[in-house]
A and B are shown apart, each in its own frame.
Chain A
Amino acid sequence: MTDAPKPPAGDPQSDPQSDPMWVGDLATRMSQGVPQAAALGLEFVSMQDGVGILRVPWRADLVGDPDTEVIAGGVVTSLLDHVCGLAVQAGRSNPTPTATLDLRIDYLRPAKPRAGVTARAQCYKYTHTIAFVRASAYDDDPDDPVATVQAAFALTGGSPA
């Protein structure tokens, strides 16, 4: 993870050579176009070659434990589900409808008080119908994650039926 280039936040077009044409569209759609993503204030960081990065800034109304002011686990769950979906798109040449089959999250440590969370997901295997994704979420150091994830997505369309 350390050898990955550090993407400048808020500059999705920073690496034009590997950004597919539809990345700009998708970046907007994945952050503002999805009501829950917009409500959480999710920020697009980057996507390329099966890797997606998103960030959620800390906000008082997203706190899960008022004693510590740490962002809620549920916010991290939404961020992780979303970034895994982004990673699946990041490895495709065209937008692909997906549905989450399952998501396993290990909470390694609490995030820091009043800290936003960044999540990086990598889609490491596609079959005809399934995409397998790993992800992790961190507050400042990618090598000291607050949570790690293993997920599987169906590529069949909008529903896992």
Chain B
Amino acid sequence: MSAETPITAQQRLDAVLARIPYVRFLGMRAELAGDEMTAILPFSPHLIGNTTIPALHGGVIGAFLEMTALAQLSVREPHRRQPKTIDVTIEYLRPAKGGLVTYARADLRKVGRRIANVHVEAWQEARASPVAALRGHFMLSTD
């Protein structure tokens, strides 16, 4: 990455996400407005977990929330290596409907020297009606 160092924070974020194969598997991306990041998960049929509703797989939602937390941490701490997830609690509030784009925003509640606490919320049509929330702890690299 040193050969073509990204210039803007958005380019740096794009580069962080682009090098993770699983992010491409999900098809997620993230947009920055200043220091505010919104993660975006476009609908794709392979994300479906419940064909009756139809709704996205609960694991996909959990993974998207966790990746959002990691992406937000990379924006805040651009020079550190990818943090390691310690624990996450995922609350499922509503079915995440198939066919709709899912969005998420992370709130860094505390970023300590070693450990960060992050809350994330995901929504589809209205931010006031979240489909799921995550609270988690992440181990920051110290090198």
Considering the chains assembled together, what is the distance between the CA atoms of A36 and B45 in angstroms? 8
Per-residue A-contact encoding for B98-125, CB less than 8 Å = 1, 0 else: 0000000000000000000000000000
* A160/B47 in contact, CB under 8 A: no
Considering the chains assembled together, what is the distance between the CA atoms of A73 and B67 in angstroms? 9
* A74/B67 in contact, CB under 8 A: yes
With A61-B22, A62-B21, A62-B22: A107-B59 Cβ-Cβ less than 8 Å = no
Considering the chains assembled together, what is the distance between the CA atoms of A15 and B129 in angstroms? 45
* A35/B59 in contact, CB under 8 A: no
In this complex, which of B51, B66, B86 has the most chain A Cβ atoms within 10 angstroms of its Cβ?
B66
* B46/A65 in contact, CB under 8 A: no
The residue from A64, A78, A81 contacting B20, defined by CB atoms under 8 A apart? A64
* A105/B58 in contact, CB under 8 A: no
The residue from B59, B60, B67 contacting A80, defined by CB atoms under 8 A apart? B59
Considering the chains assembled together, what is the distance between the CA atoms of A72 and B93 in angstroms? 24
The residue from B19, B45, B64, B92 contacting A100, defined by CB atoms under 8 A apart? B92
Considering the chains assembled together, what is the distance between the CA atoms of A160 and B25 in angstroms? 27
> Does A26 have its Cβ within 8 Å of any Cβ on chain B?
no
* A61/B63 in contact, CB under 8 A: no
Considering the chains assembled together, what is the distance between the CA atoms of A61 and B20 in angstroms? 9
* A161/B94 in contact, CB under 8 A: yes
With A36-B60, A66-B20, A110-B84: A74-B92 Cβ-Cβ less than 8 Å = no
Considering the chains assembled together, what is the distance between the CA atoms of A63 and B23 in angstroms? 9
* B94/A35 in contact, CB under 8 A: no
List of B residues within 8 angstroms of A106 by Cβ? 86-87
> Does B62 have its Cβ within 8 Å of any Cβ on chain A?
yes
In this complex, which of B22, B49, B53, B60 has the most chain A Cβ atoms within 10 angstroms of its Cβ?
B22
With A72-B20, A72-B22, A107-B84: A160-B62 Cβ-Cβ less than 8 Å = no
The residue from B46, B86, B89 contacting A39, defined by CB atoms under 8 A apart? B46
> Does B24 have its Cβ within 8 Å of any Cβ on chain A?
yes
List of A residues within 8 angstroms of B22 by Cβ? 61-64, 72, 74-75
> Does A99 have its Cβ within 8 Å of any Cβ on chain B?
yes
Shortest distance from the beta carbon of B1 to any chain A beta carbon, whole Å: 11
With A72-B20, A74-B26, A107-B84: A33-B51 Cβ-Cβ less than 8 Å = yes
* A35/B24 in contact, CB under 8 A: no
Task: Give residues in B with beta carbon < 8 Å to A.
Answer: 19-22, 24-26, 45-53, 55-60, 62-64, 66-67, 81-82, 84-95
7 A-B pairs closest in CB distance: A78-B59, A74-B63, A72-B22, A36-B57, A39-B46, A81-B59, A35-B48
